[in-house]
Structure 1
Amino acid sequence: MKMFLRSLKGAAFVAGLWAVGCIDTTRANADELAHFESAAVKPTPFQQRIAQQNGRALQAIPGTPLNGYLTRPPGEGPFPAVVVLHGCSGLFPTVEKTWSQRLSSWGYVVLVVDSFSTRGIRETCDHGLLADGSLFADRVYDAYGALEFLSKLSFVDPQRTALMGFSAGGIATLAAVQLGGAERLMDRKFKAAVAYYPNCSATNGDVAVPTLILIGELDDWTPAKNCREMMAQRSGKGSAVQLDVFKGARHAFASPSFKTGTEQYGHRVEYNAAAAEKSASDVHTFLKQAFSG
């Protein structure tokens, strides 16, 4: 029965409603290690009904223990907060440091989620960004577990929270806010989402919250054309989606780790200072507008 529920989890992106965590909130400074759990997986009413008809009972699957890195602005708050999901290479220092410092300087509490270390995963890039659907389901639960953890901190405003992801983390971000997906079962919900260079073919573009997608025109790993096609095919339901395509930019254009362009897994990755600066400005404006209401 447990395996049955896990298979449903990967197929349906259905998430549970709780997570627990621990941190000394009296001294939550830059890059403080936080421990929490991904959201538990509870069966949907439909799954429960089918199981009962077959004389079975489904139990919730507890969340996975996770590590994260918490950064907060000075002061008592409460502050808006951003959950950050890394890419398929794992937690790059440039993601943790650059965005933690940048977002906190803008007045946001930041929780960078490490989805790999406690699962014994080094990287998933060689599997392809869409090869393991179950892992993307897991990362959706990671995002909501992080949200639940942040929402319990006295210096966080749970009504002003956003989810941000990069590459594979960007795909998980779009899945987490997919209209009618896991988000509909959550007690706590994100208010905005930002996805850097996601594979837009993984979503239909209908989202539950305002969403910003940033992608390079020359990206040969997660092509911009997929995002343009997604935008053209959106049903118009749900919240607005803003697509920013940066001319001359490739995959990972916002990552200073790739100032010297290189080939990775058959794709070109390269930092682009102009695109990185403009995209950061776009994110800043987007988040301000998303939380202004």
Structure 2
Amino acid sequence: MRTPRALVVGLTAGALLGACTTAGPTDQRGGGTTGPGPTAYASSSTTTPPVTSAPTTGTPSSTPSSSAPKPAPDPASIEALIATRYDGGNLRLGRERGSTSAYRQYFVTYESNGLTISGRINIPRGKGPFPAVVLAHGYVDPATYTNGETMLRERDHLARQGYVTLHIDYRNHAQSDKDPRNDANLRAGYTVDAVNAGLALQKVAYVDPDRLAIVGRSMGGGVVYNVLVVRPGLFRAAVAYAPVSSDTVDNFDKWVRRDASRAGAARAVIDRLGTPEANPTAWAATSPRTYFGRITEPLLIHHGTADEDCPLSWSRESVAALRAEGKSVELDVYPGGRHTLTSPQWDTSIRRTEAFLARNLR
């Protein structure tokens, strides 16, 4: 595991989500945009988490009273995501396209805290209600991303096994609404969209509301980590393929801090939070690993030894941190596997995913 200093020297998977612009760990492809939308967050819940605020300068004139209200958590933090009230719903089917003898496939939209999020959904033929899986995709440049273009293999396979599969596009992608503050909030809005996707699925008649899972890959694996710590109990099980790190330092250093083209994104965050060295507590609050003790669901991780984007060591460190908290986690390692697994390793991985979901969603 990393040292305490390493835990807080960079951004989290959430930070990676906030700083990616034109590169990052990529997703396999397969596969319009609307005007500006509101912020990622709704009003805070009645349960107020510990607050981590940005650093202050100068000497305070007096010591705050113990009864003084605490400042709101920074919108980039896990604490802000925990405090958010989620209102996912209004899942609407659009044009049918790509249906098979096993399932019907539709363009879909749902509501996510004031934004409309697009996606693609497969609904098994036959009598429901069915278990359901939210699919959180990896990084693709939002400027070129098209509706439902990634995770085609997972979406097809699991639908053929009787799961409703909802692939979400995230805000600022495809036909989803715009959130101009998302980058400044370290793209924590992606986590908001994933949580609301689960809530939206619970409200439709063809889904069993008690049998939900989430599957993410690469950047979407970071979304999975965030969702598990932010809304424990919403999903019954989770799977991450080649996930980014759960430790802030790894993602920030690899994709943001040393990249001159991302200096503006890095500066926008540092201007608010301070540098990781100057304000480590604020930066630790952006990391899901800091909050692994909140997780209640089993997690399966797939990772190749030759991953060119997200090293296997990141998943090993996440697994060690989860086990230190007594959490249920499995790590399946694929010798020679790249960031996007190919057959026959992918075939093995999806069979293991299928068995894992069957055990935990029965």
Report the TM-score, using the length of structure 1 for normalisation: 0.71
1:92-241 map, 5 Å: 95-115=150-170, 116-117=173-174, 118-119=176-177, 134-178=185-229, 182-184=230-232, 189-202=234-247, 203-204=288-289, 206=293, 207-234=295-322, 236-237=324-325, 239-241=327-329
Q: How many residues align?
A: 234
Structure 1 match to 2:108: 34
Offset, 1:245 = 1.2
More helix by proportion, 1 or 2? Answer: 1
1:70 CA drift (Å)? 1.3
Counterpart CA distance in 2 for 1:226 and 1:101 is 28
Give the C-alpha shift of residue 8 in structure 1: 2.7
Question: Aligned partners of 1:277 and 1:235: how far apart in 2?
Answer: 27
Higher relative contact order (CA 8 A, sep 6+): 2
Cα deviation 1:147-173 (Å, max 9, x = unaligned): 111111111001000011111111111
Mapped partners of 1:165, 1:3: distance in 2: 20
Equivalent in 8, 13, 17 of residue 86 of structure 2: 17
Does the aligned pair in 2 maintain the 1:217–1:247 contact within 8 Å?
yes
Closer/same/farther in 2, CA of residues 3 and 274 from structure 1, 3 Å limit: closer
Deviation at 1:18, TM superposition (A): 1.2
* Deviation larger for 111-120 or 274-283: 111-120
Work out the CA distance in 1 between the residues paired with 2:219 and 2:119. Answer: 17
Q: How does 1:38-57 map to 2 (within 5 A)?
A: 38=112, 40=113
Residue number in structure 2 paired with 1:8: 74
Alpha-carbon distance between aligned partners in 1 of 2:235 and 2:344, rounded to the nearest angstrom: 29
Q: Which residue of 2 aligns with 1:288?
A: 358
Q: CA deviation at 1:72?
A: 1.0
Contact 2:120 2:147 in 1 (8 A): no
CA distance in 1, matches of 2:129, 2:355: 20
Which of 275, 278, 283 is the aligned partner of 2:345? Answer: 275
Q: Report if the CA contact (8 A) 1:21-1:34 is conserved.
A: no
Aligned partner letter, 2:111:
E
Task: Assess if the C-alpha contact under 8 Å between 1:68 and 1:112 holds in 2.
Answer: yes
Instruction: Report whether the alignment pairs 1:248 with 2:336.
Output: yes
Gaps of 5+ in 2: 1-38, 44-71, 248-287
- The structural deviation recorded for 1:7 is 6.9
Aligned pair in 2 of structure 1 residues 285, 136: CA closer, same or farther (>3 Å)? farther
Equivalent pair of 1:9/1:134 in contact (CA under 8 Å): yes
Q: Which has the larger radius of gyration?
A: 2
| Counterparts in 2 of 1:215 and 1:134: CA distance versus 1, 3 Å | farther
Within 2, Cα distance between the matches of 1:233 and 1:86? Answer: 24
CA shift, 1:35, in A, is 1.3
**Change beyond 3 A, Cα 1:100–1:218:** same
RMSD: 3.0
C-alpha contact 1:10 1:134 (8 A) present in aligned 2: yes
Instruction: Give the match's secondary structure for 1:161.
Output: strand
Q: Counterpart in 1 of 2:134?
A: 83
Instruction: Structure 1: give runs of 5+ residues left out of the alignment.
Output: 41-62, 122-131, 254-271
Contact 2:133–2:166 (CA under 8 A) maintained in structure 1: yes
